[in-house]
Structure 1
Amino acid sequence: MPLPTIEWEGDVEGRIRLVDQTLLPTELKFVYCEDIKSIWHAIKTLMVRGAPAIGIAAAMGVVLGIKDIRAKDADTFLKELKQVTSYLSTARPTAVNLFWGIARMERVARENKNKSVREIKDALLHEAIRIQNEDKVICRQIGENGAKLIKDGNGILTHCNAGGLATADYGTALAVLFKAKEQGKHIKVYADETRPLLQGARLTAWELVHAGIDVTLICDSMAAHVMKQGKVQCVIVGADRIAANGDTANKIGTYGVSILAKEHGIPFYVAAPVSTFDLSIKSGNDIPIEERSPEEITNGFGRKTAPEGVKVFNPAFDVTPAKNITAIITEKGVITKPSAENIQRLLGTTIS
């Protein structure tokens, strides 16, 4: 049974319980967010991370934010709700699911504007839980669709973490691996450590070990060598935002892995729900890239590893061009040779 990454406890006056992913793998600890500032902090500091999980956290964060709204009529409530959603939108800029989750909550509020404030609040809580439950189904279907691409005996390389910790249930990229194992396929996974915050080492390796999947942890710089030795038959990664043409933003280092895969003739797959597509962005050139604190590199995990005063460039994501992606695995199906035309053909009007 997958670990419950994020859960809502109680009624509309309740709270969020989530796994503090910054402490894994040495400590499994649940933290509780009871107001909007605490969930904003949890998203910003990566206590909760992964595009689908961020979308769920944002939706539940809206419910936390409306707890203190004392408006007596719907019009006033909607105005104050906008302050809540605007604040949550500043937590992280790259993962489109954050904005997608917030937009869904705003839409539900508007659709219920003829009801009482209490009824609107209840509708928003129900929508947040619906988003979470939908993600559980979506993850399973991504696993089903992606497992068809995995052959018995395959070696698979993955970068960062796109498992149950990044979603409500089963993961995206790792869902493919979990399903392949359930089907009786023997696979061997190579997990990049994923500098500078080691999500591959701390989270992906932890999830795969607990799932009983054969996993070998490697430094990011070892990926080319492992591929050259013929140990990798495909690469599977997640995504934080996918542009209309198939260009994909994912954890920093993913672009380099795609180049290595292309050089070695290895299929490169992206696994993501349709909510991660942003059809308003034509190409990856327009995807905003979050830059994080220099201390994540110079003082990683509490130890100084760089000279005082050195300049640091710390983008959290990079963009893999569609030409480097063999296929995108979604809950609606697999998009081979990603392009604006192929994406629109599969997705149609499913994105809202």
Structure 2
Amino acid sequence: MALTSIKTSGDKIEIVNQLLLPHTTEFIEIDTIEQAHDAIKSMKIRGAPAIASLAALTVASHLSRALQADPAPEWLSSPQLLDPYITAQLDFLYTARPTAVNLGAATRRLKHTLRTGVEQGKDASAIAQDLIQEGREIDAEDVSRNKRMSKWGGEWLIEQVKAKGKSPESLNVMTVCNTGSLATSGYGTALGLITYLHETRKLSRAFFTQSTPYHQGSRLTALELLTLKIPATMLCDSMVGSLFQHNDIHAVVVGADRIARNGDTANKVGTYNAAVLASRHNIPFIVVAPVSTVDLDIADGTAIPIEQRPALEARLVRGAVYPFTLNAQGVKEQATVMVTPEDLEGVYNPSFDVTPAELISAIVTEKGVAVKADGASGFDLSSIV
């Protein structure tokens, strides 16, 4: 069974606290928009599609509960009061993690539904119902599109390997960060492609970086691959070049938090390093992400805002105490330790870097695969958006 980042039952929303994985699986109930904002900002939930789903589902749940309340909140008494109230909530949610364009796309979709309802003269309750339906659809559509893009990307890679006169029956693929079910509503993007290759018996081994300083690879991707029983090997971020020198790696596949119009891609910091090394070793570098990740409003990666995380996060490591110790509930004890000098002041801690389109071989969405025209440094994404 695959892991899941979000569980819903009616208006009840629960998320797995990814800060405690892989040693403790704890689901947290999200009852308010403020709790959703905190969960996204603190990275209890992360992954561009997953945080968009949580934001949309939380707004839907908030509205559903308001419709059932007696008395109903004042902001639900008219479209004129509903409009500014919901707009402010959506704007607040967007501030949680601004680099991930999926979150902005989800809030824009809900704003469009809100404006349409007001312009059509619907009453506040009818507009709220429309928003509830739209919010739940944003979440529901994620799994099916992930499976489509994984198949598109997997088949494209198989054809590339065949074109080089090699057998596509035993592929080695490397990935960065975590892009599976924990980062989405299910199946995953780049990790979904790896899963597709495994399911079709084309995969020999998946390689994944630790993805420091937050260790999404060693904590989360490792857990997902073990759960799916996919043969896998972890490597430190600084070992990518060595891996490429001494192993036959057929592709690097990564997700994206934002893709500019020319194909420049923001993803977990360390992705750019992997792309440079892949280019040096003539290894295809594939970006797998939903259409909602493509931001056609920005020409290139220079316009992508890069989130700077708190310096303390890069100085701390959390995990299970080793040798393992169980608490009274039979759960492994965890601890947070500082790995730097206490008085260290200078810390550079961007959450993302931008990989230039010229280093990317293909960009895959649920609508297909885009490649660059001969001699072009950037992509024409019109066919896959």
Judge same fold: TM > 0.5, yes or no: yes
1:162-181 superposed matches below 5 A: 162-181=179-198
Q: How far apart, in 2, do the equivalents of 1:280 and 1:207 lie? A: 34
Task: Kindly provide the amino acid, as one letter, of the partner of residue 37 in structure 1.
Answer: E
Segments of structure 2 that go 5 or more residues without pairing to the other structure are: 67-72, 159-167, 319-335
Identify if the C-alpha distance between structure 1 residues 38 and 173 changes in structure 2 by more than 3 Å, giving closer, same or farther: same
Residue 366 of structure 2 corresponds to 331
1:81-96 superposed matches below 5 A: 81-96=86-101
Task: Kindly provide the amino acid, as one letter, of the partner of residue 79 in structure 1.
Answer: P
Residue 44 of structure 1 corresponds to 41
Q: CA shift at 1:128, angstroms?
A: 1.3
Q: 2:152–2:368: 8 Å Cα contact kept in structure 1? A: yes
Q: CA shift at 1:57, angstroms?
A: 1.4
Q: How far apart, in 2, do the equivalents of 1:4 and 1:342 lie? A: 33
Q: CA shift at 1:187, angstroms?
A: 2.1
Task: Kindly provide the amino acid, as one letter, of the partner of residue 77 in structure 1.
Answer: L
Q: How far apart, in 2, do the equivalents of 1:337 and 1:164 lie? A: 29
Residue 18 of structure 2 corresponds to 21
Identify if the C-alpha distance between structure 1 residues 115 and 192 changes in structure 2 by more than 3 Å, giving closer, same or farther: same
1:102-113 superposed matches below 5 A: 102-113=107-118
Q: 1:62–1:105: 8 Å Cα contact kept in structure 2? A: no
Q: How far apart, in 1, do the equivalents of 2:61 and 2:340 lie? A: 40
Residue 320 of structure 1 corresponds to 355
Residue 70 of structure 1 corresponds to 74
| Residues 133-161 of structure 1: per-residue CA shift (max 9 Å, x gap) | 11111001011101111422111111000
Residue aligned with 2:74, SS: coil
Q: CA shift at 1:268, angstroms?
A: 0.5
Residue aligned with 1:187, SS: strand
Q: CA shift at 1:62, angstroms?
A: 2.4
Q: 2:370–2:383: 8 Å Cα contact kept in structure 1? A: yes
1:166-315 superposed matches below 5 A: 166-301=183-318, 302-310=336-344, 311-315=346-350
Q: How far apart, in 1, do the equivalents of 2:19 and 2:88 lie? A: 28
> Matched residue pairs, number?
345
| Aligned partner (choices 149, 153, 156) of residue 146 of structure 1 | 153
Residue aligned with 1:343, SS: coil
**TM-score, length-normalised on structure 1?**
0.94
**TM-score, length-normalised on structure 2?**
0.86
| Residues 100-131 of structure 1: per-residue CA shift (max 9 Å, x gap) | 00011111122222223222222212111111
Q: How far apart, in 2, do the equivalents of 1:303 and 1:5 lie? A: 26
| Residues 272-308 of structure 1: per-residue CA shift (max 9 Å, x gap) | 0111000111110110000111111112221111112
Residue aligned with 2:380, SS: helix
Q: CA shift at 1:248, angstroms?
A: 0.1
Q: 2:262–2:380: 8 Å Cα contact kept in structure 1? A: yes
Q: How far apart, in 2, do the equivalents of 1:93 and 1:309 lie? A: 30
Q: 1:36–1:64: 8 Å Cα contact kept in structure 2? A: no
Q: How far apart, in 2, do the equivalents of 1:216 and 1:16 lie? A: 34
| Aligned partner (choices 129, 136, 148) of residue 136 of structure 2 | 129
- Of all paired residues, the percent bearing the same amino acid is 39
Deviates more, 1:175-184 or 1:95-104: 175-184
Task: Kindly provide the amino acid, as one letter, of the partner of residue 138 in structure 1.
Answer: R
Q: CA shift at 1:231, angstroms?
A: 3.3
Residue 58 of structure 1 corresponds to 55
Q: How far apart, in 2, do the equivalents of 1:140 and 1:2 lie? A: 13
Residue aligned with 1:265, SS: coil
Q: How far apart, in 1, do the equivalents of 2:378 and 2:304 lie? A: 19
Q: CA shift at 1:342, angstroms?
A: 4.3
Segments of structure 1 that go 5 or more residues without pairing to the other structure are: none
Residue 345 of structure 1 corresponds to 382
